């Protein structure tokens, strides 16, 4: 639980989200008694979902080429991914399944999840400012096959950018506008429209079609959507699209946004568990140990050890603790450790540290089994040496008793209290409004 959270940059960044998730896990584990059962379940589910998303990598930018049959999606896909796609053994894009080109070596989990078959993946591309890009060539949206349409509808919402490829002869296609573009307008999913095949048109014709297309798009509710005229075949005009892709790659991804949004929600649910500005204080562990030692009779035993230097014989002092004595100290500990924190933390610390009966049993056991210093007998005439021996006998016995107590209090009281405080601080970090900007 010692991850540096605040130092890690952007809230859409994979590492930042990983760290935040780690913190949520710590909070879920340690602050469980303070979180309602329903909230605990809901946030646990959120954490699992985010874990899952992070495993696929949220830094990959998914760009989907969508459009009707023959609009030029596959040609454009090949153009963007470059010559490499024609390398033998790598599948060429086909019309009924999704093909992918990834400017990444780590996109397999994502591609698996997107449902891209291994033989339709071209991975490990790099350069052109596209690192992190996962480009998808979708089946035709106007396909008569239910399967193809199913694929399109499943993949579209996962895309960070939709590139609608349209043919100058079919740009007014009813399904394209009614079923897809109006949806894109509603969900505000980032999109661009590519007017392809412009090599078959004069410049004048291209502009006329582009203008008319723009008109139809504003009817769809997409006034600001860019129309990019280009030719996938000749490559003319593609640099504008490439620039758009570079921008997309540099922005936060849908996956990162989803995780960020989920975690921001979870942090709002838990915000009531934090008292802003209050830093939990750890009570004095040595003082607790000394106080328990005294209550157990360690000082009496030490006194007896001092006497034994003279008499040569120590009376056996039985060390024991009462539940009442321990309970009082335990309560004081909890009160101090949760001072200023919202009430539920009292229960959290109370659950985290051992119960009275358990503590008493362990402490008595530890005091009974530790090996105590042997009394050292010094003749009376060596009075200086004897005085030193008396002091040593006393202090060694006290030290031994305290060590026996510390061996129990350390792991069963101190460490769990620190862990609760760590969870508190982790949560305080998570609920800061700036954490999820």
Ligand X SMILES: Nc1nc2c(ncn2[C@@H]2O[C@H](COP(=O)(O)OP(=O)(O)O)[C@@H](O)[C@H]2O)c(=O)[nH]1
Triad 114, 119, 122: Cα angle to 5°: 75
Region 233-292 residues binding ligand X, contact defined as CB under 6 A: 233
- CA pair distance 64, 150, nearest whole angstrom: 15
Contact flag: residue 53 with ligand X (CB under 6 A): no
Indicate the residue whose CB is closest to Mg ion: 74
**Binding span for Mg ion by CB under 5 A among 73-81, 194-202, 205-213, 315-323:** 73-81
- Minimum separation from the CB atom of position 35 to Mg ion (A): 50
Contact flag: residue 74 with ligand X (CB under 6 A): yes
Q: Exposure string (b/e) for 261-293, b if CB count within 10 Å is 16 or more?
A: ebbbebbebbeebbeeeeebeebebeebbbbbb
Contact flag: residue 397 with Mg ion (CB under 5 A): no
Nearest to ligand X of 176, 296 (CB atom): 176
Using the rule CB under 6 A, which residue among 197, 390, 402, 425 binds ligand X?
197
**Binding span for Mg ion by CB under 5 A among 37-45, 91-99, 101-109, 409-417:** 91-99
Contact flag: residue 73 with ligand X (CB under 6 A): yes
The DSSP annotation for 5-26 comes to -TTS--TTSHHHHHHHHHHHHH
- Give 102's strand partners: 134
Contact flag: residue 99 with Mg ion (CB under 5 A): no
- CA pair distance 108, 123, nearest whole angstrom: 8
**132 is in the binding site of which of Mg ion, ligand X, none (Cβ under 5 to 8 A by kind)?**
none
User: What is the largest distance, in Å, between two alpha-carbon atoms of the chain?
Assistant: 122
Contact flag: residue 78 with Mg ion (CB under 5 A): no
Nearest to ligand X of 140, 304 (CB atom): 140
Nearest alpha carbon to residue 364 among 309, 326, 414: 326
Using the rule CB under 6 A, which residue among 70, 129, 285, 342 binds ligand X?
70
Q: Where are the beta strands (DSSP E) in 151-308?
A: 161-166, 191-195, 227-229
Nearest to Mg ion of 74, 412 (CB atom): 74
Nearest to ligand X of 60, 197 (CB atom): 197
Nearest alpha carbon to residue 63 among 151, 225, 173, 190: 190
Using the rule CB under 5 A, which residue among 46, 61, 71, 74 binds Mg ion?
74
Using the rule CB under 6 A, which residue among 191, 231, 366, 397 binds ligand X?
231
**Binding span for Mg ion by CB under 5 A among 68-76, 324-332, 351-359, 410-418:** 68-76
Contact flag: residue 206 with ligand X (CB under 6 A): no
Nearest to ligand X of 209, 334 (CB atom): 209
Contact flag: residue 329 with ligand X (CB under 6 A): no
Question: For residues 230 and 192, is the Cβ–Cβ distance under 8 A?
Answer: no
- Give 134's strand partners: 62, 102
Contact flag: residue 95 with Mg ion (CB under 5 A): yes
Indicate the residue whose CB is closest to ligand X: 72
Contact flag: residue 200 with ligand X (CB under 6 A): yes
Contact flag: residue 306 with ligand X (CB under 6 A): no
- Minimum separation from the CB atom of position 121 to Mg ion (A): 16
3-state secondary structure of 172: coil
Q: How far is CA 224 from the centre of its chain?
A: 35
Region 95-134 residues binding ligand X, contact defined as CB under 6 A: 95
Measured CA to CA in angstroms, residue 31 lies from 23, 404, 410, 413 at distances of: 11, 29, 20, 16
Using the rule CB under 6 A, which residue among 44, 69, 269, 294 binds ligand X?
69
Nearest to ligand X of 95, 269 (CB atom): 95
- Minimum separation from the CB atom of position 238 to ligand X (A): 10
- CA pair distance 32, 347, nearest whole angstrom: 10
Q: Exposure string (b/e) for 361-374, b if CB count within 10 Å is 16 or more?
A: ebbbebbeeeebee
**267 is in the binding site of which of Mg ion, ligand X, none (Cβ under 5 to 8 A by kind)?**
none
**67 is in the binding site of which of Mg ion, ligand X, none (Cβ under 5 to 8 A by kind)?**
ligand X
- CA pair distance 158, 61, nearest whole angstrom: 10
**291 is in the binding site of which of Mg ion, ligand X, none (Cβ under 5 to 8 A by kind)?**
none
The DSSP annotation for 126-151 comes to --TT-TTEEEEEPPPTT-S-HHHHHH
Nearest to ligand X of 92, 437 (CB atom): 92
Interface with ligand X by CB under 6 A: which residues? 67, 69-75, 95, 140, 196-197, 199-200, 231-233
């Amino acid at each position: 639980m010692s991850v540096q959270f605040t130092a890690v940059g952007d809230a859409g960044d994979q590492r930042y989200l990983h760290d935040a998730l780690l913190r949520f896990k710590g909070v879920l584990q340690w602050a469980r008694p303070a979180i309602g059962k329903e909230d605990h379940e809901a946030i646990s589910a959120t954490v699992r979902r985010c874990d899952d998303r992070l495993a696929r990598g949220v830094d990959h930018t998914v760009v989907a080429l969508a459009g009707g049959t023959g609009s030029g999606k596959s040609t454009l896909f090949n153009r963007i991914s470059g010559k490499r796609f024609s390398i033998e053994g790598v599948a060429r894009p086909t019309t009924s399944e999704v093909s992918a080109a990834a400017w990444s070596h780590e996109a397999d989990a994502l591609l698996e999840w997107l449902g891209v078959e291994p033989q339709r993946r071209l991975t490990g591309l790099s350069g052109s400012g596209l690192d992190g890009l996962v480009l998808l060539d979708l089946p035709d949206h106007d396909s008569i096959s239910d399967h193809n349409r199913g694929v399109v509808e499943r993949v579209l919402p996962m895309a960070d950018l939709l590139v609608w490829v349209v043919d100058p002869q079919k740009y007014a296609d009813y399904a394209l506008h009614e079923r897809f573009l109006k949806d894109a307008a509603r969900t505000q999913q980032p999109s661009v429209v590519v007017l392809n095949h412009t090599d078959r048109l004069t410049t004048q014709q291209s502009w006329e079609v582009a203008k008319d297309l723009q008109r139809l798009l504003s009817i769809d509710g997409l006034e600001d959507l860019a129309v990019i005229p280009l030719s996938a075949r000749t490559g003319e005009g593609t640099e504008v699209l490439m620039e758009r892709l570079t921008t997309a790659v540099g922005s936060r991804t849908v996956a990162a946004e989803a995780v960020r949004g989920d975690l921001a929600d979870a942090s709002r649910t838990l915000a009531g568990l934090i008292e802003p500005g209050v830093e939990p204080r750890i009570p004095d562990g040595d003082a607790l140990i000394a106080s328990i030692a005294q209550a157990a009779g360690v000082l009496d035993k030490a006194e007896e050890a001092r006497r034994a230097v003279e008499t040569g014989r120590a009376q056996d002092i039985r060390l024991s603790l009462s539940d009442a004595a321990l309970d009082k100290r335990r309560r004081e500990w909890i009160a101090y450790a949760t001072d200023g924190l919202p009430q539920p933390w009292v229960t959290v610390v109370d659950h985290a540290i051992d119960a009275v009966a358990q503590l008493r049993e362990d402490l008595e056991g530890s005091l009974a089994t530790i090996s105590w210093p042997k009394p050292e007998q010094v003749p009376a005439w060596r009075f200086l040496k004897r005085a030193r021996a008396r002091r040593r006998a006393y202090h060694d016995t006290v030290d031994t008793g305290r060590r026996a107590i510390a061996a129990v209090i350390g792991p069963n009281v101190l460490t769990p209290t620190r862990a609760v405080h760590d969870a508190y601080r982790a949560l305080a970090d998570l609920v800061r409004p700036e954490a999820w900007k």
